[in-house]
Structure 1
Amino acid sequence: MNILAAIDLSDASQKVLDQTKRLALALSAKVWILHVTESGPEVGRLNLGPEMVREQAAQEYNKEHKDLEEQAETLQKAGIETTPLLIQGATVEIILKKSKELKIDFIIVGSHGHGGVYHLIYGSVCEGVLQSSQCPVLIVPVHDRA
């Protein structure tokens, strides 16, 4: 059994990882934790924009890599075989591509509950994954609503 947990490394990601841990332990599943980033390791080597901008993008990528590794270690300590993946690209497309490549049985994503104008402009990762996924998708509500 293979599970892909797509996280954004925000505080809300912990709720997604809690559900991932619960499901992985119940199913004796292997887990891939995926974070899709806007900046990649090559940003620091390109001559795009001022050096300070390139350096900041490289630092952000390194921080995301470290944070993702820490999340994976938490699941590994619980006895779950876990692989962190940090990939640059379009979030929905990367999630769907990796789910096929890795023969994923379940995708787990968080829903922030944004609506209205935000949803109109940015769309929804959950919605995009749910509409095109070849496997079941577990959507974890991560917003705090009273």
Structure 2
Amino acid sequence: MKNILVAIDLKGNEQPLIEKAETIARKFASKVWVIHIAAPDPDFVGYSAGPQSTRDNRASELREEHRRIESYTEALEKKGIDAEGLLVQGATIETILEEAKKLNIDLIISGYQDHGFFYKALYGSVSNAIIKASKIPVLIVPMD
């Protein structure tokens, strides 16, 4: 197992995923790819980006997300784990699977958090969708 992809949502609950990736990477001398899928640019999905202040705000959000991903990869590297971070804009499931294919990923690690009916109806479950669509093994880490 040479490459592990850890999909994080940057909601403050990433540590169990990073720790699981570290444990597995240490046993198999794997590289860890930490990925966060950011919402696509408004122009990409057919909407106007809005005034310059809106674009500046979005750019600031993306810089902060990138900084947080870098902090996770730097922490892994300090522990002797080869790690790299990715911040990619796009549709979550499709983008995770595309990146996994490009990077020759052997294992995808994702978190699962139980949500209520309305949340599931509106947003679905990223982990369930990855399991259904992936041809790559997926490790689901409970987040509750």
Q: Would you say same fold, with TM above 0.5?
A: yes
User: CA RMSD, aligned part only?
Assistant: 1.7
TM-score normalised by length of structure 2: 0.90
The answer as to whether partners of 2:40 and 2:91 remain within 8 angstroms in 1 is no
Q: Give, in angstroms, the shift of residue 50 of structure 1.
A: 1.9
Instruction: Please list every run of 5 or more consecutive structure 1 residues that lacks an aligned counterpart in the other structure.
Output: none
Do residues 19 (structure 1) and 37 (structure 2) align?
Answer: no
Do residues 48 (structure 1) and 26 (structure 2) align?
Answer: no
Letter in structure 2 aligned against 1:25: R
Residue of structure 2 in register with 1:93 after alignment: 94
Distance 1:35 1:130 in 2: 17
Residue of structure 2 in register with 1:136 after alignment: 137
Q: Give, in angstroms, the shift of residue 85 of structure 1.
A: 0.6
Structure 2 counterparts to residues 30-109 of structure 1, below 5 A: 30-38=31-39, 48-109=49-110
Q: Give, in angstroms, the shift of residue 51 of structure 1.
A: 2.0
Secondary structure at the aligned position of 1:4 is classed as strand
Q: Give, in angstroms, the shift of residue 48 of structure 1.
A: 2.6
Instruction: Please list every run of 5 or more consecutive structure 2 residues that lacks an aligned counterpart in the other structure.
Output: none
**What whole-Å deviation, never above 9, does each CA across 1:80-110 have from its counterpart, x for those lacking one?**
1111010000111111111111111100001
The answer as to whether partners of 1:8 and 1:36 remain within 8 angstroms in 2 is yes
Structure 2 counterparts to residues 105-124 of structure 1, below 5 A: 105-124=106-125
Distance 1:129 1:93 in 2: 9
Q: Percentage identity across aligned positions?
A: 40
The answer as to whether partners of 1:39 and 1:61 remain within 8 angstroms in 2 is no
Ranges of 4+ aligned residues in structure 1 off by more than 3 Å: none
Query: Aligned residues, how many?
Result: 139
TM-score normalised by length of structure 1: 0.89
